[in-house]
Homo-oligomer: A and B are copies of this chain.
Amino acid sequence: MNAAPKPLSLHEDRLFAADPLQRAIARRLYAQAGALPIVSPHGHTDPAWWATDAPFANATELLLVPDHYVFRMLYSQGVPLDALGIPRADGSRATFDPREAWRMFARHFHLFRGTPSSLWLNHVFHDVFGLRVRLDASTSDFYYDTITDALQKPEFLPRALFERFNIDVIATTESPLDTLEHHQAIRNSGWGGRVVTAYRPDPVIDPEHEQFPDALRRFGELTGEDVHDWEGYLRAHRQRRAFFTQMGATSTDHGHPSCATADLAPDEARALFERIVRGRFSAADAETFRGQMLTEMAAMSLDDGLVMQIHPGCFRNHNRDLFERFGRDKGADIPLRTDYVQALKPLLDRFGNAPGFRLILFTLDESTYARELAPLAGHYPCLFLGPAWWFHDAPEGMWRFREQTLSSAGFYNTVGFNDDTRAFLSIPARHDVARRVDCAFLAKLVAEHRMDEDEAAEVAVDLAYHLPKRAYRL
Contact = CB atoms under 8 A, between A and B. Distances in A.
Interface stretch (A39-47, A247-255, A442-450): A442-450
B451 A318 contact: no
A474 interface: no
Interface string A366-403: 11001110111111110100000001101111000001
Contact of A76 (B322, B372, B381, B444): B381
Interface residues of A, number: 95
Nearest to A333: B375
A6 interface: yes
B371 A76 contact: no
In the complex this chain forms, how many copies of it are found?
Answer: 3
Contacts of A166: none
A331 B445 CA distance: 26
B372 A334 contact: yes
A461 interface: no
Contacts of A409: 76
A84 interface: no
Given A6-B454, A113-B451, A322 B353 contact: yes
A345 to B, nearest CB: 7
A283 to B, nearest CB: 13
Given A115-B406, A116-B407, A119-B450, A318 B348 contact: yes
Interface stretch (A7-15, A201-209, A237-245): A7-15
Interface string A316-352: 0011111000000001111111010110010011001
A455 interface: yes
25 contacts: A6-B454, A13-B448, A13-B449, A14-B449, A76-B377, A76-B379, A76-B413, A77-B413, A110-B455, A113-B410, A113-B455, A115-B410, A116-B407, A118-B450, A118-B451, A315-B342, A320-B348, A334-B341, A334-B379, A335-B375, A337-B371, A366-B370, A366-B371, A394-B406, A395-B450
